[in-house]
Amino acid sequence: MFHDSGPDKMIATITRFLLMSLVSGVVVVAQTQEPPIAGAGRDTFDDRREIERLRQQPLNWFGGVSFAYSQPRGDFKRFLDSINNGWGAGFSINGGYTFGQVPVSVGVAVDVLFYGMQERTFQTPLVIGGIPRTVYDTVNTTMTFVPITVFVRIAPELEWFQPYVEAGAGLNLISSSFSLKSNLGGSQEQSESHAPFQYSIGAGLNVKVADVFNVPVSRQAYYVHLGLRYLYGDYSDYTFWRFADGSSRSIEVVRGASRTDLYVITLGVSAAF
């Protein structure tokens, strides 16, 4: 049987020609066309190179926030234990600057430590102008320590870990207050503050949890932070208020004097940028 294959061969030839032309055109366009947006189509190798460049650059600024737990030491602890205020808790914030490639930093830490707060409301029935009334007296006492420390820190970067040691100095603001407020509008308030000098030593560990890259501009590093600082406080007078006993309405003033040593443990998060 005779079969004319001429048209089929022609169609196949034309099809191959069109496919080859299309592929050639795409290759030419891909080689000559510029990306319309800066950074678009960046090669993966370029990204890795930029990331490595940013990773080698020092992060100069740092800051963090932590939960803080504290206890006094020595005679200061014995005095506060005697009035049932032997420990404090609160929060700590810090920030500072690192000097380039050298792992030396300077910074400031502020610890806000609440060493006790008591509040009681007492009811007193009265007859005023022939009308029975109930007077509500609310009594509040507070005790707060705020160590403010300027420190120098040595903190080498070891892959995902950053141990550090530090030394510092500053003030420990010791404040206490007493207030009495009545629903009839009367009030009475007293407070006292002392600011003994303190110097400190400390150590800690930052564990890196993430590096965030904004290629090709910047890098930020995020850490979980654990630290211990021991404060050697100067000798100081101090005054606190407390209830005379468990159910009493009476407030008594308690005065003492000693060195004001204490330690602070912090656990939180920090960032370098």
Q: Residue 57 is which amino acid?
A: Q
Query: Which of 223, 228, 227, 229 lies closest to 270 in space, CA to CA?
Result: 223
What's the rounded mean pLDDT across residues 97-118? 92
The answer to whether 64 and 268 have CB atoms below 8 angstroms apart is yes
Give the model's pLDDT for residue 65: 97
Q: What is the pLDDT of residues 144-200, one digit of tens each?
A: 999 999 999 999 988 889 999 999 999 999 999 988 888 777 778 888 999 999 999
Give the model's pLDDT for residue 19: 43
Give the model's pLDDT for residue 224: 97
Which CATH code, of 3.40.50.2300, 3.30.750.24, 2.40.160.20, 3.40.50.20, is assigned to 59-272?
Answer: 2.40.160.20
Whole-angstrom distance, CA of residue 103 vs CA of residue 58: 9
What's the rounded mean pLDDT across residues 226-249? 86
Phi, psi of 78 (to 5 degrees): -60, -40
| Domain coordinates in residue numbering, the chain | 59-272
Give the model's pLDDT for residue 167: 98
pLDDT band at residue 33 using 50, 70 and 90 as cut-offs: very low
Task: Kindly tell me if the per-residue pLDDT of 263 is higher than 70.
Answer: yes
Task: Kindly tell me if the per-residue pLDDT of 11 is higher than 80.
Answer: no
Q: pLDDT averaged over the chain?
A: 81
Find where tokens 């009839």 sit. Answer: 184
What's the rounded mean pLDDT across residues 99-107? 90
Least confident of 20-34, 138-152, 175-189, 212-226: 20-34
Task: Kindly tell me if the per-residue pLDDT of 18 is higher than 50.
Answer: no
The answer to whether 260 and 72 have CB atoms below 8 angstroms apart is yes
Count of Cβ atoms closer than 10 Å to residue 69 Cβ: 16
Least confident of 26-35, 72-81, 102-111, 231-240: 26-35
Give the model's pLDDT for residue 85: 83
Give the model's pLDDT for residue 29: 32
Give the model's pLDDT for residue 124: 78
Whole-angstrom distance, CA of residue 271 vs CA of residue 154: 16
What's the rounded mean pLDDT across residues 206-232? 88
pTM, to two decimals: 0.76
Find where tokens 């101090």 sit. Answer: 238
